[in-house]
Structure 1
């Protein structure tokens, strides 16, 4: 492993001389990664220095529940040839996905040395390769290295290394076997089954812990692009935040916010940020509230294919969240019989608090974690009291529930 700070600086200078067009395009609109119904706000990102810190608050399933922020990135530096070998020459069949930055390829490395290895030997990794025509470019790549390369926490995806050889920009991450939360929520088929209520709570708690860690570090970090597609799941459905290209340090010197160019994703960005450019730590909390609403309803934050009044999920759902009698109209049909109505109401109330128009009145992410853990505990207690044959793998379906799921699939996806 090598310290990459000086190498990055040298490459940025070299890149600026070699490709002024790439630099000029850094503030252009950032393209959506997986959904044509989710618009992107314009982007501009800057890297900053960190102060080392250690903050607790990890996933109970992880052996090390403590997170760390290092003074400088400590990542393995690869050559382009090495990553070309690890991905079998970036073959199309190794593509895991594609976003605004570029394509993500499956690769294999030795578990101890992290050097390229033969297919199906060693450990699998995800290699993100910058598309030369990408509007995100070098600045977002550098932000990813500077932020995620210095952070260690069970609920944040591990950045293992990078390459900036011959003006090729690549990033190497741990492989997340279950893919993104977005796919599990909104795609259907043999690969993606509806997520049971208990699993949704587990995922939400893990993601909330990741955000809470960022917010409670010595120099607060605002994630700025919290959404379902940026929550990745490992083989045990542990949630980890990915994509730190838009991350930014929070306010200091007694200030309540930072002022910056608006960026992020329409439907998830906090209203005060969109209207004024004032970015608060609790702007992330609003984004979390949107994802929590998506988990409750099984519907996307924005979907032009829905009826006009339902295109914007937050606007349509807000009255339903505040009315106990109407909440059932909002709940995902695939969750029929899985949840305690009282627990669902508590989740709805938490969602409303996160979506408050005044950032000062939103809960902290630490408070969100505590609230979700209480909801999860009540759900586990209910399951323990029920007969073993009352459900199958935590799913209880009914004809009405299936119908609701089918209807929501045709309207909301």
Structure 2
């Protein structure tokens, strides 16, 4: 019965009038390019089409969920949404012998908005930052004005992909659903909540919450903050969102460009504590269009400037001599730890590269990978007991975690159990490099915990 049900769901997926069915006979040169809580994304070359595609597959091989996501993306087809080419059934590389199903989508070699912000020392050049904010508003407005409206429910920098000219496209529709604001009088319910805590509105933490369009608008406000600061919301602030805590708007120097103050005001309206006080995406477009139009003449130069930076970064990573310089810069950046809640998120990326104190925090000598690994070994018990952002840290390790280990970790309910599995597998066998990467994950997601353990171990 189960096999028959799975077959029927796959048949629905492959019979879509707009979806082409592809298998291993036409996909070659597979490479794993990303993995998250949902599953994995691969790069592959479609040998008949002679261009590259991406293949998204779930860890659970749930064809029904893939069908839902593919259908939502096909419904939302536009220049601001990642294109779906078809569906996949086959045996991907990586040791599995079971047939898997997936969605075949556009391959965006420039990565995501998140990866762009990680590479740049601060926010993108203002013309590009304003265009990104405007294109996201255009894409989200398209979803919200469909009939019936479609919610994204997981809008964040890692789900915004960039094409060759750094235009933004919405991706990852695994949590999308028809707007509850349309269904609220019909007696229908919306099911699971989903989403990512940093971009989740305060009202969504209530058990009885039913998602509506203001959910996406809140997330958009946080994404604007990330674009304008080039930073990620600190975990402490994210945990206090239900109490009204937000990233500090002061992190954006509004005097640096014309229209910045307008975008900051829009950002604050979008993350308003009261959902009904948030603007629609149509309202957002009136602001973003006005701001971008003032800087549109400079967009080509801004894009070329960033593309040059990205190409240079790629060459540096491939050249061991230049890579030493890059590693030293990243190491200095990672030494700034959080302070009290009121100020930890007001640091700007560009300040991290200055010599001396940053807002009263003294930069210490960067730890070597060997020192980081030793720290991870020596503090095993404390780390296992105290870490609260286990999956976020584990996902930072990327391909270092074997798929089977990742599935085992994901199946554990408690953070302590997840970290215990990681210690007994990946950290046990991975050596210095993996332990150092785990330490870096602690710095990103658990800065206060790391600072506390450092103080305890200091003479």
- Aligned partner of 2:164 in structure 1 is 235
Structure 1: unaligned runs, 5 residues or longer: 1-9, 19-46, 48-71, 110-115, 322-326, 395-399
- Aligned partner of 1:153 in structure 2 is 78
Matches within 5 A, 1:2-401: 13-14=5-6, 73-78=17-22, 80-82=23-25, 85-88=26-29, 90=30, 94-109=31-46, 116-117=47-48, 122-131=50-59, 134=60, 137-164=62-89, 167-187=99-119, 195-251=124-180, 252=182, 255=185, 259-275=190-206, 276-303=208-235, 318=246, 320-321=248-249, 327=250, 330-331=251-252, 339-340=256-257, 343-380=259-296, 393=305
Q: Distance in 2 between matches of 1:317 and 1:287?
A: 14
Query: How far apart are residue 262 of structure 1 and its match?
Result: 1.9
Higher helix share: 2
Q: Distance in 1 between matches of 2:198 and 2:283?
A: 23
1:404 pairs with 2:404 = no
Q: Distance in 2 between matches of 1:164 and 1:302?
A: 40
Query: How far apart are residue 367 of structure 1 and its match?
Result: 1.3
- Are 1:140 and 1:246, in contact at CA under 8 Å, matched by a contact in 2? no
Q: Distance in 1 between matches of 2:75 and 2:115?
A: 28
Deviation above 4 Å: which 4+ runs of structure 1?
15-18, 256-259, 308-320, 400-403, 407-413
Query: How far apart are residue 261 of structure 1 and its match?
Result: 2.8
Q: Distance in 1 between matches of 2:4 and 2:119?
A: 39
Post-superposition Cα deviations, 1:214-255, rounded to whole Å, max 9, x if no partner, equal 100111101111000000000011100011111100133674
Tell me the number of residue pairs that the alignment of Structure 1 and Structure 2 aligns.
304
Higher strand share: 1
- Are 2:28 and 2:45, in contact at CA under 8 Å, matched by a contact in 1? yes
TM-score of the two chains, using structure 1 as the length reference: 0.63
Post-superposition Cα deviations, 1:254-290, rounded to whole Å, max 9, x if no partner, equal 7499653321110111221221322111211011011
Post-superposition Cα deviations, 1:329-367, rounded to whole Å, max 9, x if no partner, equal x027xxx98x32x52211111011100122211111111
Q: Distance in 1 between matches of 2:146 and 2:9?
A: 36
- Are 1:259 and 1:277, in contact at CA under 8 Å, matched by a contact in 2? no
- Are 2:123 and 2:230, in contact at CA under 8 Å, matched by a contact in 1? no
- Aligned partner of 1:34 in structure 2 is none
Query: How far apart are residue 299 of structure 1 and its match?
Result: 1.8
CA gap 1:168/1:295 in 2 versus in 1, 3 angstroms? same
- Are 2:66 and 2:174, in contact at CA under 8 Å, matched by a contact in 1? yes
Larger radius of gyration: 2
- Are 1:127 and 1:170, in contact at CA under 8 Å, matched by a contact in 2? yes
CA gap 1:103/1:262 in 2 versus in 1, 3 angstroms? closer
- Are 1:343 and 1:379, in contact at CA under 8 Å, matched by a contact in 2? no
TM-score of the two chains, using structure 2 as the length reference: 0.57
